């Protein structure tokens, strides 16, 4: 993925997972399979079509959008690691 294909703002590897089973774990330590599952269970449908960041989003939606952008930015590595497509 080229730099221009990446979406921002996004969570970084050292940022804590904002919610769920792996809440507060650094993103780099969250299992790839879990991130793929989140994407396929609705995060991708909700945020996957385009970078939907808006400063006017409520804080919890901004976190979801940053998480979705993180997963999008890592999608090639996640797909290789899990064998699942995003």
Domain boundaries, the chain: 30-86
Each residue's pLDDT expressed in tens, for the chain with a length of 86 residues: 677 789 999 999 999 999 999 999 999 999 999 999 999 998 888 888 777 777 888 999 999 999 999 999 999 999 999 999 88
| One-character DSSP codes across 18-79 | -SSTTTTSBGGGS-HHHHHHHIIIIIHHHHSSS----TTS-HHHHHHHHHHHHHHHTHHHHH
């Amino acid at each position: 993925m080229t730099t221009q294909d990446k979406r921002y703002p996004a969570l970084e590897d050292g940022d804590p997972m904002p919610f769920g089973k792996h809440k507060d774990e650094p993103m780099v330590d969250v299992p790839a399979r879990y991130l793929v599952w989140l994407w396929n269970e609705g995060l991708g449908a909700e945020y996957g079509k385009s970078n939907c960041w808006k400063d006017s989003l409520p804080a919890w939606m901004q976190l979801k959008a940053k998480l979705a952008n993180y997963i999008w930015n890592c999608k090639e590595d996640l797909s290789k690691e899990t064998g699942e497509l995003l």
